[in-house]
Amino acid sequence: MSRDNVFLVGPMGAGKSTIGRLLASELKLPFRDSDRVIEERTGADIPWIFDVEGESGFRARESAVLTELASLTGAVIATGGGIVLNPANCATMSASGYVCYLTAAIDQLVERTSRDKKRPLLQVNNPRQKIVDLLAERDPLYRQAADFVVTTDRRSPRMVAQEIAQQLAHVREVS
């Protein structure tokens, strides 16, 4: 399997979908969003899947879709924030592409997700604390999975996409 894909990982609100579309355009590659693929396949949105199947049911769907998307050749793939919770998902991404961890400050993540009611894990009394807790658990996993890390704080999505393209060129050169 060749490493022709680019996987964007990171917390909710880091900009994976927005930046992924711009990066795909910049690299002239197709763009896929694993959460959108799941929604298209099930005919239901992510919160409904969480309600009916629980987080474990959603994670099983997520892994199956990731395996399928990883078989593409040359695509930019935005993943869900919890994709790194399953070590097999990390291995799948590494085997078929380069993994970019998009990170942002807590305040930025809170601001970017505050009006979005389609994030089941944030439908709690204190969404900020939930983001802090999720990041504490997942940041080491994102860093372990990543070939490189890009910060999205207070930067235009286009600038971030251009930086990722540059980082990608560099990691491809050295690997």
pLDDT at 38: 96
Separation CA 41–CA 31 (nearest Å): 17
CATH of residue 149's domain is 3.40.50.300
pLDDT at residue 164, as a whole number: 96
State yes or no: pLDDT of 1 exceeds 90: no
Q: What is the pTM of this model?
A: 0.94
Number of domains comprising the chain: 1
Host domain of residue 129: 5-168
Give the model confidence (pLDDT) of 87-120 as tens digits. 999 999 999 999 999 999 999 998 888 877 777 7
Residue 174 domain-assigned (yes or no): no
What tens digit of pLDDT does each residue of 157-166 get? 999 999 999 9
> How many whole angstroms from its chain centre is CA 112?
15
Residue 87 lies in a domain: yes
Evaluate if residue 4 carries a pLDDT over 60. yes
Q: Is 6 helix (H, G, I), strand (E, B) or coil?
A: strand
- Judge whether 175 lies within some domain: no
Match 């009394």 to its residue by tokens.
125
Please give the full DSSP string across 86-104, using - where no structure is assigned: SHHHHHHHHHHEEEEEEE-
